[in-house]
Amino acid sequence: MVADGTTARLPDVTPVQRITTWVRTNLFSTWYNTVITIVLLYGLANALVGLAGWIAQAQGWTAAFTNMKLILAWTYPNDQIWRPQLAVLIVAALLGLSAGVWRGVVQLVTIGAALTTGALAVPAVGLPEFAGTVGLPSWLVLAMSVALLLLGIPLGRRAGGWLRWGLIVLWIAIYPIIILVVRGGIGLPVVETKLWGGLMLTLLLAISGIVLSFPIGVALALGRRSRLPVIRIFCVAYIELIRGVPLVTVLYMGSLLLPLFLPGGESVDQFIRAMVAVTLFSAAYLAENVRGGLQALPAGQTEAARALGLNVVQTTFLITLPQALRAIVPLLVGQSIGLFKDTSLVVIVGLIDLLGAAQNVVGQPDWLGTPGGVWRETFLVIAAIYWIFSFTMSRVSKRIEDSFATSRH
Amino acid sequence: MRRSLVIPLAAALSLIIAACGGAPAAPTAAPEAPTTAPAPTAAPAAPAATTGRLETITARGTVICGVNNNPLPGFASVDASGVYSGFDVDFCKAVAAALFDDPSKVEYRPLSSQDRFTALQTGEIDVLIRNSTWTLGRDGDVGLDWSPTTFYDGQGMMVRKDSGITSIDDMDGATICVQTGTTTELNLADVFRAKGLTFQPVVFPDGDQTRSAYDAGQCDGFTTDKSGLVSSITLLSNPADHQILSDTMSKEPLGPSVLQGDPKWADAVNWITYATFQAEEYGITSANLAEFSASEVPEIRRFLGIEGELGKGVGLSNDFAARVIKHVGNYAEIYNRNLGPDTPFNLPRGLNALYTEGGLLYSPPFR
Amino acid sequence: MASSIPRTSRSSIPFYRDTRVIAVLVQVIFAVAVVAGCWVLYQNMIAGLTRANLLPTFSFLNVPASFPIAESVIPYDPSMTYSQAFVVGLLNTARVAIIGIVLATILGVILGIFRLSSNWLLSNVAMAYVEIVRNVPLLLQLIFWFYLTKMFPRVQESINLGDAVYLHNRGVTLAWPEPTASFSNWLWWVGGALLAAVAIYVVRQIQFRRRDRPGVAVPYAILGWIVIAGVGYVLTTAFSGMAPAVLVFPELQRFNFVGGATVTASFAALLIGLVIYTAVYIGEIVRSGILAVSKGQREAARALGLSQGQTLRLVIFPQALRIMIPPMTSQYLNLTKNSSLAVAIAYPDLFYIANTINNQTGQAVPVILMLMVSYLSASLFTSLLMNWYNRNIQLVER
């Protein structure tokens, strides 16, 4: 990379020369770099060959494969499985259209998602079908998602401006819509949250945490910067208390104390308990990010707004907050990655998320005969699932950060 | 800098809303949810003080039964299609059969050993039938009421056959796998201390993990209730390599439990349980129920609710025993279906036989 | 502040438009709302707990815990009380956190330097490591490492490394020094050496200040401590005819190794997982810290004739350190908090023990309270320590 800049300027180098120069400067520049390169090459080659060999001969892939329904949706009723599928398609359609309208990062994500989904659709053809399933075969859902993602781009591009606002409204409304589709109510039979699990639960929990913690976090951040001591102290105490303890303890509190806090000892669903805990936890971290954004804002912004005659509320919601939030978008994406990974902790309080489902699959008696068990294969599969999601998000965050950096200076 | 008055107020409000309002997203749907198996959770019941649990359950139309979250084959396990079965599960069904004349009116709530009692205390479940040992502490401090013991168990120890261990006395210095949050964990420490033996514990929060650690050889011994050991052995990679020692380290009477302070509901569960014992004593099974219904013996007519009003006294229908037998069977049927000679466990009845056959099952008279 | 236009005729403003009155009012309402909200929750909780006959009390702390704990820094057996069991958990957390912080820092610094290497392959291998580890949940990684320990042979067939280290699926057993009768004599030397080290530190600091040039006194102090303690070790051995400590080699008995020290599989998995995960974040901090030091500094150092190593050690690193301390602190705290995931792999840390105590006593409220206070004070303590260190480092700068 460094070398590209220097060699490109030389006018009369052949590609071969360019490659040799690059290799020399980047791999064999000094004697110790040469040693490092050789050792690493040897180690890498060995590791990759070993890994490839193991992947080819490992017998446990069937465990994750045959239990894909458990891993993705756990005990969500088979006769209702079309609902999460519909949710996936809705998101795919929205994402596709948005890619056309906004292009840039969104388009990149969409194309990436389409490629990944397309690649997954191929092995999905072999996934087992369950009796009584009301829904489409998984490969078809994936193929349709790819189609929606890719078709959306030209459609969105053509529609342009007017679609922009519609999409923004839809993106805001998407959370309740998805919850409605998946959970039911208003005509649809209710699927209790205790039947949820697997990747579905992981995603819904992470999204709920982010979405619901947003207003609380913003309120806490504003409260922490408030002039009124009572409110400030309360917000500081809350934020520091939550940030001082591990998420597990907050989840534990949620699962033990929340039912006690309600009158008459009503039962609170485990999912709701975890959701409340994750939201309260995430709000404290979000508040600190928002506060950072507010602090970074030049004081002139507030002063100018006040000078124009805007009152406090108007200044906050029209001038400072929008700018602060825009500035911390990369941080918020980073926090979402953290929360997405952290939802795996709900296993400890007894929910079955992606990790819980995998543990369950690993423990199935069917695999007792497999030498060495099926844990490596199963955990690798779900690690890949986690990885794809958080890696994508981290790239997005990087992109936005870079675009900010260029637009600002 | 700013005169923010409204915003902090909004902050305060949303916080409070988040703190208390986050939860009550509890389902408000009608008590009948058609296709999606288990019905909704929260019957909008008035506080427990005014309405008894029994009325709440009747109004709700299902009984919420806490069962084991780890598969414990023979006692409680779920198959791939989500159907529960097992000895404990059959008693859940018996309660539903007695209340609603329909054994499927059960909502199963899988619980770990850590949160099973909390679930009862917070009213999340109506009855706990999850191989839980009746102890004074739990009856007292934890605030539960136990129904008659449905399974007399005792803590045992499983070891590898090639280890040469023949009794617990051989196990000085051994590493032992045990699950946390159980009486097993406490008994193990007590027994070894009493015998003056040392051991290295490996303690897991989860039954599956405990078994798998033992299976991998991370422990020399694996201790839990013998019933649990019996069903675990089928889940080991090489069942033939293991044996259960004859030592019994504790008394473990397992039975249904309910929250203390609601005698009517406790009575109902008690007599439903007794009905299965009594039916076996009379020899009434699900197969010959029709013949017995025609019986002229007053005792049997009363038991089956053909005459008299016995059931009403404990808040049940008069024919509750007949309903239980019709749908679930008598104790022997339940036992044999789940643990008997035709199952992989083939567990001898032992203490779990009727008192007339040298066991401990004894029902007070139905009159 | 914004107390804007001075008002001459305050009486003309009705009190409900007076911002100061509103400010007080809002705060009062807020405080009342918070207190009332908490009170309602508290009442509900007490009512619920009364129904369950479980009123919160701390009296259980003096009752024997009766449950065994797999590993402990201090002697523990089930006849000890719940409070002692809690302390065991606390110390186990401290143990994994302290060792983890040290190892994660070392690995993190190495990683950060690798990421900046001029060797394309090395920096990209380091980057691949970062991208893989960072995007997979820590809990999954911990469980993965724990499952991996099961792949090792059973104790009876342990992998023997020179009779001093044995690898098996219960952990690692090592030859370990054990104190002998003369150990207490040597302890005096160690204590004395510590005093001497402090003295060396103070003297060096004064010297640096007098000569008005920067320098780090800690290495001298540590060196002094090691030398004096070492001399003490030799002298104690010579005088009492017995070394203060002897290396004990583990021996396989019927069930387990006896002698030496055993690192349990749970502890090993937890430590490996935490170190590998946290090192990624520390590596990124180190990398950005080094990058943040302006290029002119590097060029100036090279122009002065310092070697690459010297530049890194004497110019770049001290400056980068100052940028790195605050984010490092939060990573150290993260590691400590993340150690609570031990519960999933059976390492008896603070959270695990608290969970067990709650299971055995049903005293959820006091247990959670103790748990929160412990983690909060650990956070506070670490922050204070790092702030102190931070100040110390800033002093070097003039």
CA distances from B271 to B94, B292, B353, C48 (A): 11, 20, 18, 28
Q: pLDDT category, B5, cuts 50, 70, 90? A: very low
Q: Convert the pLDDT of each residue in A206-260 to its tens digit.
A: 999 999 999 999 999 999 988 889 999 999 999 999 999 999 999 999 888 887 8
Please work out, in degrees rounded to the nearest 5, the angle formed at the alpha carbon of residue C46 by the alpha carbons of C40 and C50: 145
Q: Is the separation of the CB atoms in B202 and B175 below 8 Å?
A: yes
CA distances from A231 to A154, B10, C11 (A): 50, 11, 28
**Nearest-CA neighbor of C150 among C37, C266, C62?**
C266
Q: pLDDT category, B367, cuts 50, 70, 90? A: confident
As a whole-number percent, the residues of chain C with pLDDT over 90 amount to: 42
* DSSP 3-state percent helix, strand, coil across chain C (nearest 5): 70, 5, 25
Tokens 């008997």 found at: B340
Per-residue pLDDT at B117: 84
Look at residue B225 and tell me if it is in a domain.
Answer: yes
Half-sphere exposure of A137 (CA within 13 A, CB side): 13
B158, with CB counted inside 10 A (0-12, 13-18, 19+), is buried
Q: Looking at the partner chain, which of C41, C117, C134 has a beta carbon nearest the beta carbon of A261?
A: C41
Q: pLDDT category, C296, cuts 50, 70, 90? A: confident
- Segment C292-306 shows an average pLDDT of 85
User: How far away is chain B from the Cα of A231, in angstroms, using its nearest Cα?
Assistant: 7
Half-sphere exposure of C222 (CA within 13 A, CB side): 4
In this structure, what DSSP letter does residue C80 have?
S
- Segment C116-125 shows an average pLDDT of 90
Q: What are phi and psi of C343, to 5 degrees?
A: -60, -30
Q: What residue of A is the nearest CA neighbor of C3? A: A227
pLDDT surpassing 90 at residue B240: no
pLDDT surpassing 60 at residue B316: yes
Which residues of A are less than 8 Å from C136 in CB distance?
341, 383, 386-387, 390
List A353's β-bridge partners, or say none. A198
Q: Are residues B77 and B177 in the same domain?
A: no
Separation between Cα atoms, residue C82 and residue C64, nearest integer Å: 6
* DSSP 3-state percent helix, strand, coil across chain A (nearest 5): 80, 0, 20
Q: pLDDT category, C393, cuts 50, 70, 90? A: low
Per-residue pLDDT at B2: 40
Separation between Cα atoms, residue C276 and residue C270, nearest integer Å: 10
Q: Convert the pLDDT of each residue in C328-348 to its tens digit.
A: 988 999 999 999 999 999 899
**Nearest-CA neighbor of A320 among A302, A295, A300?**
A302
Give the number of other Cβ atoms within 10 Å of residue C303's Cβ. 9
Return the CATH number of the domain spanning residue range A63-76+195-409: 1.10.3720.10
Look at residue B12 and tell me if it is in a domain.
Answer: no
Separation between Cα atoms, residue C207 and residue C227, nearest integer Å: 21
Q: Are residues B140 and B266 in the same domain?
A: yes
State the DSSP H helix or E strand holding residue C98, giving kind and residue range, or none if neither.
helix C82-115
CA distances from C264 to B193, C40, C346 (A): 23, 46, 10
Q: Convert the pLDDT of each residue in C86-99 to its tens digit.
A: 999 999 999 999 99
Q: At what angle do helices A375-408 and A104-124 cross, to 10 degrees?
A: 160
Q: What residue of A is the nearest CA neighbor of B259? A: A265
Domain ranges of chain A: 2-57, 63-76+195-409, 80-190
Q: Is B36 left (phi over 0), alpha (psi -120 to 50) or beta?
A: beta
Helix ranges (DSSP H) in A267-374: 270-296, 299-307, 312-314, 321-327, 329-342, 354-363
Look at residue B305 and tell me if it is in a domain.
Answer: no
Per-residue pLDDT at A365: 73
3-state DSSP call for residue C161?
strand
Q: B23, A226: Cβ pair inside 8 Å? A: no
Q: What are phi and psi of B294, to 5 degrees?
A: -90, 0
List the single best residue of A233, A267, A355 to mutate versus B (max B Cβ within 10 A).
A267
* Amino acid, res. B280: E
- Segment C264-284 shows an average pLDDT of 95
Look at residue B146 and tell me if it is in a domain.
Answer: yes
Which residues of B are less than 8 Å from C266 in CB distance?
202
Per-residue pLDDT at C280: 95
Q: Are residues B102 and B202 in the same domain?
A: no
Distance of CA C286 to the CA centre of its chain: 18
List B128's β-bridge partners, or say none. B66, B257
Separation between Cα atoms, residue A99 and residue A107, nearest integer Å: 4
Give pTM, 2 decimals. Answer: 0.83
Helix ranges (DSSP H) in C135-262: 138-149, 183-211, 218-240
Which subunits count as partners of chain B given 3+ CB pairs below 8 Å?
A, C
State the DSSP H helix or E strand holding residue A39, giving kind and residue range, or none if neither.
helix A31-57
For residue C244 the two structure tokens come to 């203060």
* Amino acid, res. A143: A
CB pairs under 8 A between A and B: 161
Range of A398-407, C38-47, C172-181, C339-348 with top mean pLDDT: C339-348
Q: B42, A267: Cβ pair inside 8 Å? A: yes
List the single best residue of B111, B218, B258 to mutate versus C (max C Cβ within 10 A).
B218
Per-residue pLDDT at A270: 82
Per-residue pLDDT at A156: 86
Chain A touched by C343 (CB under 8 Å): yes
> Whole-angstrom distance between the N-terminal and C-terminal Cα of chain C?
33
3-state DSSP call for residue A244?
helix
Which residues of C are less than 8 Å from B179 in CB distance?
none
Chain A touched by C372 (CB under 8 Å): yes
Distance of CA A28 to the CA centre of its chain: 39
Q: Is the separation of the CB atoms in A223 and A238 below 8 Å?
A: no
Measured on CA atoms in the order A346, A350, A356, A362, is the torsion positive or negative? positive
Per-residue pLDDT at C11: 57
Separation between Cα atoms, residue A77 and residue A135, nearest integer Å: 11
Q: Is the separation of the CB atoms in B352 and B151 below 8 Å?
A: yes
Query: Last residue of some domain: B232, B250, B268?
Result: B250
Q: Convert the pLDDT of each residue in C213-259 to its tens digit.
A: 666 677 888 898 999 989 988 988 888 888 888 888 998 888 888 88
For residue B39 the two structure tokens come to 């019905």
Return the CATH number of the domain spanning residue range C82-137+272-396: 1.10.3720.10
Look at residue B72 and tell me if it is in a domain.
Answer: yes
CATH number at residue B95: 3.40.190.10
Per-residue pLDDT at B178: 92
Which residues of B are less than 8 Å from A258 in CB distance?
23
Per-residue pLDDT at B110: 84
Q: Looking at the partner chain, which of B16, B180, B189 has a beta carbon nearest the beta carbon of C359?
A: B180
Q: How many residues does chain B have?
A: 367
Separation between Cα atoms, residue A321 and residue A325, nearest integer Å: 6
For residue C301 the two structure tokens come to 């150092």
Name the stretches of chain A with pLDDT < 50. 1-8, 409
In this structure, what DSSP letter does residue B365 have?
P
Q: Looking at the partner chain, which of C69, C254, C346 has a beta carbon nearest the beta carbon of B204?
A: C346
Separation between Cα atoms, residue A105 and residue A111, nearest integer Å: 10
For residue C290 the two structure tokens come to 């080094």
Per-residue pLDDT at A397: 85
Q: Is C203 left (phi over 0), alpha (psi -120 to 50) or beta?
A: alpha
Rounded to the nearest integer, the mean pLDDT of chain B is 82
- Segment B87-99 shows an average pLDDT of 94
Q: Convert the pLDDT of each residue in B106-154 to its tens digit.
A: 989 888 777 788 888 878 899 999 888 888 878 887 788 999 999 998 8
Q: Are residues B59 and B201 in the same domain?
A: no
Which residues of B are less than 8 Å from A222 in CB distance?
4, 7-8, 11
Q: What are phi and psi of B41, to 5 degrees?
A: -80, -65
CB within 8 Å of chain A, chain C residues 24-83: 26-28, 30-31, 34, 41, 44-45, 47-49, 51
A78-87, A148-157, B160-169, C49-58, range with the lowest pLDDT:
C49-58
User: How far away is chain B from the Cα of A313, in angstroms, using its nearest Cα?
Assistant: 7
Give the number of other Cβ atoms within 10 Å of residue A361's Cβ. 26
Separation between Cα atoms, residue A141 and residue A86, nearest integer Å: 9
- Segment B43-64 shows an average pLDDT of 72
Which subunits count as partners of chain C given 3+ CB pairs below 8 Å?
A, B
Q: Are residues B124 and B263 in the same domain?
A: yes
Strands B199-204 and B257-259 turn out to be unpaired
- Segment C258-270 shows an average pLDDT of 91
Q: Domains in chain B: how many in total?
A: 2
Strands B106-111 and B63-68 turn out to be parallel
Distance of CA B242 to the CA centre of its chain: 27
Separation between Cα atoms, residue A120 and residue A389, nearest integer Å: 14
Please work out, in degrees rounded to the nearest 5, the angle formed at the alpha carbon of residue A292 by the alpha carbons of A290 and A296: 120
Per-residue pLDDT at A119: 85
Look at residue B259 and tell me if it is in a domain.
Answer: yes
CB pairs under 8 A between B and C: 138
Q: B190, C66: Cβ pair inside 8 Å? A: yes
State the DSSP H helix or E strand holding residue C165, giving kind and residue range, or none if neither.
strand C165-168
Q: Convert the pLDDT of each residue in A89-139 to its tens digit.
A: 999 999 999 988 888 778 888 888 898 888 888 888 888 777 778 888 888
Q: What residue of A is the nearest CA neighbor of B125? A: A267
Q: Looking at the partner chain, which of A234, A382, A394 has a beta carbon nearest the beta carbon of C140?
A: A382
Per-residue pLDDT at C212: 67
State the DSSP H helix or E strand holding residue C251, giving kind and residue range, or none if neither.
strand C251-252
Q: Are residues B98 and B68 in the same domain?
A: yes
For residue A198 the two structure tokens come to 């697997």
Q: DSSP readout, B302-345?
A: HHTTSSS-HHHHTTS-TTHHHHHHHHT--HHHHHHHHTSTTSSS
Q: Is B346 left (phi over 0), alpha (psi -120 to 50) or beta?
A: left
Per-residue pLDDT at C214: 60
Q: Is the separation of the CB atoms in C96 and C347 below 8 Å?
A: yes
Which subunits count as partners of chain A given 3+ CB pairs below 8 Å?
B, C
Q: What residue of A is the nearest CA neighbor of B39? A: A192
Per-residue pLDDT at B255: 92
**SS3 readout for B158-227:** EEEHHHCCCCHHHHCCEEEEEECCCHHHHHHHHHHHHHCCCEEEEEECCHHHHHHHHHCCCCCEEEEEHH
Q: Is the separation of the CB atoms in C282 and C111 below 8 Å?
A: yes
Give C382 or B11, the one with higher predicted confidence: C382
List B109's β-bridge partners, or say none. B66
Q: Are residues B139 and B260 in the same domain?
A: yes
Q: A98 Cβ partners below 8 Å, 6+ apart?
A: A106, A110, A152, A156, A167, A171
**Nearest-CA neighbor of A171 among A106, A115, A105, A83?**
A106
Structural domain that includes position B100: 48-152+253-285+328-361
